[in-house]
Structure 1
Amino acid sequence: MQLAPTAMMANPSKPFLPRRGLMFILSSPSGAGKTTIARRLLAEDANLRMSVSVTTRPMRDGEVESRDYYFTAQDDFRAMVDDDAFMEWAQVFGNFYGTPRASIKAGLERGDDFLFDVDWQGAQQLSQRAGADVVSVFLLPPSIEELERRLRDRGTDDPDVIAGRMARARDEISHWDGYDYVVVNDDLGTCFERVCTILHAERLRRIRGTGLVDFTRKLIS
């Protein structure tokens, strides 16, 4: 589905009034389209940037420090945990990942919006710690059979890996009710348009309008 330019991000980087930024969470089971939607959002929205995590896993070929991750040693990561330097953190397959608090806080105050690719546990932590700054969206497949078909069609995983992904997918889906919005990805273009609509509306919420008080006072004075 080809979207008209008016359905896309209408110059969000220059709002009429200053506003506070937001933390936009996208979660889904593997194969439900989260990565594709996230990449398109980042490519088409000038005011949305990917949240860059701190990790203890080794750098992979092609990755760049501060663009893909902030790479650090486990001892340094644990010290940051002790200093409460993360908005959320988790251990995944023996490596640690965390969202640095200071850079996100400064960006929100400037009006920057951050995209987060986290699971339900990360979404829960961020929602508990950041409150009204967080907007969470969970993407669902149209059916469990379609989800399995998409994973098989990738041609990158053997049957045992796919079976493991399907088990994790069911666990992820069971936490759907912890999100602000739930979107079924039955058509990629339609799903993207719905996610854009959510982002548009949340940017316009009164609680984010840091310039509204002064602006309205001038109108009625």
Structure 2
Amino acid sequence: MQGGIARRGLMLVLSSPSGAGKTTIARALLEAETGIESSISHTTRKKRKGEKEGKDYHFVDQDEFARMRDRGAFLEWAEVFDNYYGTPRAPVERALKEGRDVMFDVDWQGAKSLRRAAPDDVVSVFILPPSAADLEQRLNVRAEDPPDVVRTRMRGASNEIRHWQEYDYVIVNHDLERSVAAVRAILIAERLRRARLTGLKDFVQNLLAAL
């Protein structure tokens, strides 16, 4: 609901090269905003320290992932660094119909597939690091990956960044607090888009009838 007016939910898509801050921004947004939830992807990659099944990802093997993909259970799926990631279709479609927003932490391939699957529902935001040196430092400080993986992610960052023009909004993550505020502003504005306010026509008609 938006001011008592029924609305359709939206799909807020966040992308960035690994280490630019999108996951941190996403978590902060979930804490600050109501009415939005995170899409929990299925993945074939190994669970990292601190991650929980069903909260961070649904961890599956490649055979299970392939079965789900083949029966159309994913809105989108992609291969990233030799692992597969997929967005489950049913919970997203249910949330949008009920007026709840869903946030996606995906790469450019996933964003492209989501736009293709639901062009009217997607709002896409690309997050850039302040510099290449800052990106490398963040990856090293994170200390979740060995040096060879960090080097691979740095090489992959170039390809990811080349797709920035495909997004509705672009944020340079100089400061986390300001970046979160920017994403919140985008969300607030997009929730007010006339086409998403499914109850607006009846609201206006009732308003006019009372005048």
With structure 1 as the length reference, what TM-score do the two structures score? 0.84
SS in 2 for 1:25: strand
> Could you say which residue in structure 2 is the equivalent of 1:191?
179
Residue 97 in structure 1 maps to residue 85 in structure 2: yes
Distance in 2, matches of 1:192 and 1:154, equals 20
Instruction: Flag structure 1 segments of 5+ consecutive residues without an equivalent.
Output: 1-12
Distance in 2, matches of 1:197 and 1:177, equals 20
Q: Give CA-to-partner distance per residue, 1:197-216, whole Å, 9 cap, x none.
A: 11110111011101101111
The residue correspondences of 1:1-221 to structure 2 (distance < 5 A) are 15-57=3-45, 63-155=51-143, 157=145, 159-221=147-209
Q: How far apart are 1:194 and its partner, in Å?
A: 0.9
Instruction: Flag structure 2 segments of 5+ consecutive residues without an equivalent.
Output: none
Distance in 2, matches of 1:41 and 1:23, equals 14
> C-alpha root-mean-square deviation of aligned residues, in Å?
2.2
One-letter identity of the residue aligned with 1:66: G
Q: How far apart are 1:157 and its partner, in Å?
A: 5.0
Distance in 1, matches of 2:43 and 2:93, equals 19
Distance change (3 Å), C-alpha of 1:165 and 1:77:
closer
> Could you say which residue in structure 2 is the equivalent of 1:5?
none
How many residue pairs get matched? 209
8 A contact 2:2–2:191 mirrored in 1 = no
- Between stretches 128-137 and 152-161, larger displacement belongs to 152-161
Q: How far apart are 1:62 and its partner, in Å?
A: 5.5
Distance in 2, matches of 1:53 and 1:155, equals 23
Q: How far apart are 1:48 and its partner, in Å?
A: 1.2
- Between stretches 183-192 and 172-181, larger displacement belongs to 183-192
Q: How far apart are 1:37 and its partner, in Å?
A: 0.6
8 A contact 2:76–2:114 mirrored in 1 = yes
Q: Give CA-to-partner distance per residue, 1:142-182, whole Å, 9 cap, x none.
A: 22222223333445555443322221111111110111100
